[in-house]
């Protein structure tokens, strides 16, 4: 991720208690969000930060439009990922991070890269659906049922029991032969 995810909090340090807002954005690189993001749209982060009693409080709302594949019908679609975070950074932690090149300005900057990345990854659904009621594919002929109805008779067997049913059928046949 590029360095644009760093915020300069020096103004907040001068005015304790005051809330500052900043809008950040970046174009995700392939592999940033998932194996195959198919997304070139910018990720935006609305950041709110303030400083009080030696602690920076940073709130962020991350939004990203991400290309993914429906877990039921396998159609590609774009999904809006939204996630929020609240993080505290105490002045000592911030100073520690700048130890490598003891620069005061660096000490007043907070790098949100890792946070944003973690928050986005956490927001990616385990089984994305193009829509909540996506009917998926016909179990018999594979036609996407959202677009067409096939002539197949939909069997009422729970898909989890299907394998078992097949197995039973096979055993039955064997018994007859
Ligand atoms: Zn779908
Ligand atoms: Zn069918």
Find the ligand nearest to 135 CA: 1
Whether the CB-CB separation of 117 and 32 falls below 8 Å is answered with yes
Q: What is the pTM of this model?
A: 0.67
Alpha helices for the chain (secondary structure H): 10-14, 91-97, 104-107, 113-123, 159-176
The residue among 46, 44, 50 whose CA lies nearest residue 60 is 46
pLDDT in tens, 110-141: 888 888 888 988 888 888 999 999 999 998 89
Arithmetic mean of pLDDT, 39-55:
86
**Domain locations in the chain as residue ranges:** 3-123, 135-177
Find the ligand nearest to 131 CA: 1
Find the ligand nearest to 139 CA: 2
* Beta bridge pairs of residue 125: none
Ligand 2 geometric centre to CA of 150 (Å): 5
Cβ-count burial of 58 within 10 angstroms (0-12 exposed, 13-18 middle, 19+ buried)?
buried
**Cβ count near 176 (within 10 Å):** 6
């Amino acid at each position: 991720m590029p360095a644009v995810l760093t915020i300069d909090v020096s103004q907040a340090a001068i005015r304790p208690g005051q809330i500052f807002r900043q809008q950040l954005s970046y174009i995700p690189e392939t592999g940033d969000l998932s194996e195959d993001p198919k997304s070139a749209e910018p990720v935006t982060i609305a950041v709110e930060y303030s400083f009080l009693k030696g602690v920076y409080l940073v709130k962020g709302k991350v939004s990203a439009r991400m290309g993914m594949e429906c877990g039921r019908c396998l159609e590609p679609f774009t999904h809006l990922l939204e996630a929020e975070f609240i993080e505290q950074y105490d002045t000592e932690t911030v100073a520690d991070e700048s130890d490598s090149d003891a620069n005061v300005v660096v000490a007043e900057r907070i790098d949100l890269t890792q946070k944003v990345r973690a928050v986005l990854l956490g927001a990616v659904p385990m089984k994305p659906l193009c829509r909540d009621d996506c009917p998926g594919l016909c179990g018999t002929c594979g036609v996407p049922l959202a677009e067409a109805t096939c002539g197949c008779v939909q069997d009422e067997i729970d898909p989890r029991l299907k394998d078992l049913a097949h197995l039973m059928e096979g055993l039955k046949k064997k018994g007859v032969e």
